[in-house]
Copies of this chain bind each other. A is one copy, B any other.
């Protein structure tokens, strides 16, 4: 089964360690060892997280430098932002929607 890009991005972000790795990379490139340091998990576990992030296109790893630094690739995050923006009016317009909802109920549209 192929996974669409946006689903792969959301799945990659559904883990606090992976989000912390992205936050670290937002401050600059880092080696696997540097990324692993703050986490109470094995280097192997961190490598696995990096593979998930790399497959989702959220990080890249240098092929040239010997220490193979990881680097944030933010394009998929732009796609997440574009997707979630469509719903902005719903989390910002809480009260308006409640009124609208009550108005709909009063019209009795849902009695059918």
B80 touches A110 (CB 8 A): no
Grouping DSSP codes into helix (H, G, I), strand (E, B) and loop, the A interface class, with mixed when no group exceeds half, is: helix
Partner of A22, one of B22, B80, B87: B87
B67 touches A91 (CB 8 A): no
> Which residues, 73 to 109 on A, are CB-close (under 8 Å) to B?
74-75, 77-78, 80-81, 83-88, 90-92, 94, 104
B69 touches A87 (CB 8 A): no
A87 touches B110 (CB 8 A): no
Q: How large is the interface on A (under 10, 10 to 19, 20 to 34, 35 or more residues)?
A: 35 or more
Q: Find the residue from A26, A69, A91, A94 having the highest chain B CB count within 10 A.
A: A91
Partner of A74, one of B10, B78, B87, B110: B87
